[in-house]
A and B are shown apart, each in its own frame.
Chain A
């Protein structure tokens, strides 16, 4: 290049060309300094050590969450010479490194999202008791995946499981997990529950599950979420934002579906109880019916008795009105021309009379 005279623009273009070829991507670990966000979108910071400092430029969408100067971070990006602002690394991803920094970064995210109410217990929705369709977000080659599938099969089986294979650690983990959550939420027939899980690991391995983007995606999921990260003692922010959490992938499977053996035992006990209850119901109804029938029989019998007595009384009374009763006592009925004679004055000599006795009738003539 000796003797070649370049314009500043040409030089910048030549330098960028060389950088692109020689260092398409660099990963730099250092202490965060001069961190600032402009217009809620553009991010400027430096990574420094005891001797040097490198400027970075990026957007908030590439950050794992709120950051503070002093944190140790690992930044991945493409080194570029800007036409006006000079040299900077164009950020593609950033993760805190070292247990202290990871914890501090996670605390910053926790504080921010807590204020927004993302971990509020009131936001939690209950998981279905017998889910049929599950969306699984994990590394398909991991022990976590194998454990989850195995325990799920042992406990219940016959479930539809859609799996999205994601990175569960490293720079790409947050974006792949977020994309997987979004993918399931955009499905025409989405699963009933999303399970996001991975096994245990170092604070750095589990950092993706404290990433603000991942935590927000879990909280925003329309599909119910169950997050199980790491071992018993690990607690990630993604778990806090989920509808339900479990300690391990195995725990997630156990939390998600009941044990079919216990279910069958319960079912059998319920069946016996159901038969007992229905039998009891019928016995009670039969006893009540029997009581009703006895009552009815009693009422009817009483009615007949009263009526029969009344009829007998009436018969005796009517018997008293029998005009023939007098004839039986020796009286007679005298008729002239068919009409009853009630007075001796009505009879003249030679009148043809008929006389009724109790036992018969005779014809007579008056004299």
Chain B
């Protein structure tokens, strides 16, 4: 059975926190920095999409309830 790799918001948040912690450490390698920066940017975009989608879903439910 294929394993679904959809990350939860919490997991993404955790990953972003780890990346940011890496950047704040002293032994930053520039090559690594580029890779990780890209990863962090991607994560941020994903998290923004996630939040946007969740907010849309809430709005839809609210409309359905007639609020």
Give chain A's interface residues, CB within 8 Å of chain B: 293, 297, 300, 304, 307-308, 311, 314-315, 317-318, 321-324, 333, 340
Q: How far is the CA of A300 from the CA of B55 in the complex (A)?
A: 9
**Contact between chains at B40 and A318 (CB < 8 Å):** yes
Residue in B16, B44, B48, B58 whose CB lies within 8 Å of A300: B58
> B residues within 8 A CB of A323?
30, 33-34, 37
Q: Inter-chain contact count A-B, CB under 8 Å?
A: 43
B 1-54 contacts with A by CB, 8 A? 16, 19-20, 23, 30-31, 33-34, 36-37, 40-41, 44, 47-48, 51, 54
**Chain B residues with a Cβ under 8 A of chain A:** 16, 19-20, 23, 30-31, 33-34, 36-37, 40-41, 44, 47-48, 51, 54-55, 58, 62, 65, 67
**CB pairs A–B below 8 angstroms (23 shown):** A293-B65, A297-B62, A297-B67, A304-B51, A304-B58, A307-B51, A308-B51, A311-B44, A311-B47, A311-B48, A314-B16, A314-B20, A314-B44, A318-B19, A318-B37, A318-B40, A318-B41, A321-B23, A321-B33, A321-B40, A323-B30, A323-B33, A340-B31
Which of A308, A311, A333 is in CB contact (< 8 Å) with B30?
Answer: A333
**A318:B44 contact, CB within 8 angstroms:** yes
Chain B: CB-nearest residue to A310: B13
User: Considering the chains assembled together, what is the distance between the CA atoms of A333 and B33 in angstroms?
Assistant: 13
A316 to chain B, nearest CB (A): 10
A315: chain B residues within 8 A (beta carbon): 44
The chain A residue with its CB closest to the CB of B67 is A293
Complex Cα–Cα for A176 and B19 (A): 107
Which residues of A sit under 8 angstroms from B20, Cβ to Cβ? 314, 317-318, 321
- Assembled-state Cα–Cα distance A307/B50 (Å): 11
Assembly CA distance A255 to B36 (angstroms): 94
Pairs A-B, 10 closest by C-beta atoms: A321-B23, A318-B40, A323-B33, A323-B34, A315-B44, A340-B30, A322-B37, A304-B55, A323-B30, A300-B58
Contacts of B41 in A (CB 8 A): 318
Expressed in whole angstroms, the minimum distance between the Cβ of B51 and any Cβ of chain A is 6
What is the distance, in angstroms, from A359's C-beta to the closest C-beta of chain B?
16
Alpha-carbon gap, A314 to B23, bound state (A): 12
A183 CA / B63 CA spacing, docked (Å): 74
Find chain A residues with CB under 8 A from B44 CB: 311, 314-315, 318
B4 to chain A, nearest CB (A): 24
- Least Cβ distance of A312 to chain B in Å? 9
Instruction: Tell me the smallest distance from the CB of B63 to a CB of chain A, in Å.
Output: 12
Q: How far is the CA of A324 from the CA of B35 in the complex (A)?
A: 12
B36 / chain A contacts, CB cutoff of 8 Å: 321
A321/B37 contact (C-beta < 8 A), A311-B47, A314-B44, A340-B30 known: yes
A289 to chain B, nearest CB (A): 10
For the complex, give the distance between the alpha carbons of A324 and B41 in Å.
Answer: 13
| Nearest CB of B to A119, in Å | 69
CB distance from A335 to the nearest CB of B (A): 9
